[in-house]
A and B are shown apart, each in its own frame.
Chain A
Amino acid sequence: MNKTAKNIFEMKVKSSTENLGSIREFVEEKAMQSGIDKSIIDKIVLAVDEACTNIIKHAYNYDETTEFTVRVLISKTEFKVLLIDHGKSFDPNQIADPDMPTYLKQRRVGGLGLHLMRHLMDNVEYHNLEGNVNQLILTKKIA
């Protein structure tokens, strides 16, 4: 965990659900230092948790020898979290939000992560870059 430049903070984590707690603490601490409201911080933290869980589960299929990067970028108006992995890519545009009454009626399990991210953040962007670099950008307006 190191501060690479003013208002840019980064941590590299092993792809294990065991690290979700420290990722949440890292993001929460940076958001608190930025003076963001607790209710907004809770939303950012949950969205990041959901995104990291998806990376660990889907991009890396629970392979704990892999790792990914959590990068926080803070400006006057936005709190951004970039998640960078080198695992299996996906196209979020192909994943529609579930119809919740149907979801509940069918007692479905899982598949709510992206849906939550879209609800909790102002913008969710995904890029599959050259060299098998997957970049998910979660943005929350803070002013």
Chain B
Amino acid sequence: MAEFSTKHREDGEVNIIELNGYLDAHTAQHLEHAISDLITKNKYKVVVNFEQLKYISSAGLGVFMAFIETMRTNSGDIKLAAMQPSVYNIFDLLGFPLLYEIFPTETEAVNKFKY
């Protein structure tokens, strides 16, 4: 029921994770694995593309919290991009824009790492 998938791409040294579907307490583990996989490969510059993400609950938000420090202490970051308004509203309601850089497009997020 709770369909969710991720896709991984690279743009130079920036790793892009595309989210698709519904991110909840059931599917959060899938995203955890995708990000853990990058850490094991010492890849710490991550852009998460939310364009195809239809839904997020607090379990999904928790995944970003769990990894942000590891990325930043290794000169990287998790930058978020292309959220649908309904998804952005949840981030905003909880004050997450204080901690995360959120960009309207993936290109802007990727460029922030490059320039």
Contact = CB atoms under 8 A, between A and B. Distances in A.
B3 interface: yes
Interface residues of A, number: 30
A142 interface: no
A100 interface: yes
Contacts of B65: 107-109
A140 B57 CA distance: 18
Contact of A17 (B25, B68, B86, B89): B25
Identify whether the interface residues of A are mostly helix, strand, loop, or mixed. helix
Contact residues on B (Cβ < 8 Å of other chain), bracket: 20 to 34
A46 B90 CA distance: 9
A62 B79 CA distance: 32
A53 B25 contact: yes
Task: Among B24, B55, B61, B66, find the residue whose CB has the most chain A CB atoms closer than 10 A.
Answer: B24
Interface of A: 16-22, 24-25, 39, 42, 46, 49-50, 53, 56-57, 100-101, 103-104, 107-110, 112-113, 115-116, 119
The 8 A-B residue pairs whose C-beta atoms are closest, nearest first, are A21-B1, A21-B2, A17-B26, A100-B95, A112-B58, A53-B25, A104-B99, A17-B25
